[in-house]
Structure 1
Amino acid sequence: MVLELKLKPLIPLFIAVTALSGCQSSKDNLAPYVFQSQCQEADEYDFEPLTFTVDSSFEQARVNGVICSGSYTAFEQMTKQYPKVKLLRLKEIPGSVDDETNLRLSKKIHQMGISTYLGDKGIVESGGTDLFLSGVTRRAEKGAKIGVHSWAFEDDNGKVVGGVNLPKSSPEHQPYIEYYQDIGLSKPEEFYWFTMHAASAEGIYYMSPQQLEHFGFNTPSFAF
């Protein structure tokens, strides 16, 4: 897999500008119901890594921050200690600096039968949008912001190349399309190519209510 290598060089173009910064905590100082991703990237670029905070019901968790290399481990630790968690309430997730981890995490959330929720002031972008889609049932309230864009990488000459410029037959596209298929999105390929053309890697496009409905972001049922 080469996804991680593609995205890391481009962190300053989008993630570093939009992510919450200066919010990291030492693992030793975290409460027992808080599970924060431990990522070298967070130290390097000074952003809040993805953090899960389990509520008093032990059945729901708030989720905030940027998805990074330690996010899968943080999720595993949370679900091992709190196996009854069945809803992730997403707050502000500006994206991912490690797409391989993000797709692995999102598939695991879906496989475990966990749902996702985005409130009216919530915002997910890029990999955060993929994380929202991982829910077996999903609800995004009116006013929530859901952003998408293309991905990109630096070639051997240091030139930024957008994924949209690769042939449609390129194998680099498949992990994303297969993920949307795996989670049961009704129009997986159409949605993938929509995101690729919606905005460049350094930009972002917020989907309209009509587009969210077209691609089935809100599931017919939502039990929370």
Structure 2
Amino acid sequence: MKPATALKAMTNINDGMLMRGAFYLLLAAAATFLVIDIREISEVEAARPSVETVPDVPTFLPPKIAPDAPGAPPVKPSSPEAVLRKPMTFNLISGGVLYAEGTIDPGAAERFAHEIEARGEYIKFVALNSPGGSVDDAIAMSKLIRQKAIGTKIDERALCASSCPIVFAGGVTRTAEKDAVIGVHQVFNGGIEPVSPDQAMSSAQAVTARVARHLDEMGIGAGLWIHALETPPDQLYYLTPEKMAEYRLTTNAAAVVKPNQG
């Protein structure tokens, strides 16, 4: 091979190696930036609070069983489970109705108090649609409703279960529309830390006493809480309109409870 031909061949080889090297370098750089971008996106998503988070508190949704089976709700609640499982939200709608929907998560009472403080003069009723949740928050909300002389209501096919009736009991007037799904059972405040059987029993008794005392202060008949105590936490005792009237959980159109009375 002539020297000029050999030199040209070597030049072509070097150019090809340089081009391949540059290509691989760019590919490696692109891969590095991609990894960094994915990591940053993952960190942002992990730090972002999810609206789908289910609060770590006891709630109760009616079981998926035949409507005529023992323990079945009288009708199927209209709201999807995904909506009921979300932390409670508050929306003021027409007619001075504050619509409270979702699980009574820890902190719900504080958010509720902020709503009352900001819009109290416009709120005439609190409409509930909830599977229950935090007993402490339910009692606090109920007390504030009574203090502010606000009525409570449960719309047709709305759900008010577990600790939700505690909130409902605070209304100076209490109305349940036809086919409202209202149920009670044994309630407790769940904790993350494991406790001994004696501690669990003591806690359950303390919560039971607090709820019973509060319902008595709200003027609710003792028979309602007896049904709750007789019903396991994974079941509901559904209240008929007759039972709600008997235990004074609902009031008639003419009855208005004074804020400082049950």
TM-score (norm 2): 0.59
The answer to whether 1:128 aligns with 2:160 is no
Task: Tell me: CA distance 1:172–1:55, structure 2 relative to 1, closer, same or farther (3 Å).
Answer: closer
Of 110, 132, 135, the residue aligned with 1:95 is 132
Distance 2:154 2:135 in 1: 21
- 1:71–1:176 CA distance, 2 compared to 1 (3 A): same
Preserved CA contact (<8 Å) 1:162 1:200: no
8 Å CA contact retained: 1:20, 1:65: no
| One of 95, 104, 114 as aligned partner of 1:77 | 114
Q: Which runs of 5+ in 1 are unaligned?
A: 1-7, 24-45
Are the equivalent residues in 2 in contact too, given 1:20–1:48 (CA < 8 A)?
Answer: no
Instruction: Point out the structure with the larger helix share.
Output: 2
Change (3 A) 1:53 1:120: same
The structure-2 alpha-carbon separation of the partners of 1:10 and 1:122, relative to structure 1 and needing over 3 Å to count, comes to: closer
Question: After the TM superposition, which residues 121-160 of structure 1 pair with which residues of structure 2 at under 5 Å, given as runs?
Answer: 121-151=157-187, 156-157=195-196
The change in CA–CA distance for 1:115 and 1:222 in structure 2 (over 3 A counts) is farther
Show the counterpart of 2:225: 192
Deviation of the 1:115 alpha carbon? 0.3
- 1: CA distance between counterparts of 2:215 and 2:162? 14
The answer to whether the Cα contact below 8 Å between 1:116 and 1:132 also exists between their aligned partners in 2 is: yes
| Larger Cα-atom Rg | 2
Task: Determine the C-alpha separation between the residues in 2 that align with 1:15 and 1:121.
Answer: 13
For residues 90-135 of structure 1, give each alpha carbon's deviation from its aligned partner in whole angstroms, at most 9, with x where no partner exists. 2x20011x21121111111111101011122211101111111111
Structure 1 residues 61, 9: closer, same or farther in 2, change over 3 A?
closer
Greater strand proportion: 1
Structure 2 equivalent of residue 37 of structure 1: none
**Contact 1:151 1:201 (8 Å CA) reproduced:** yes
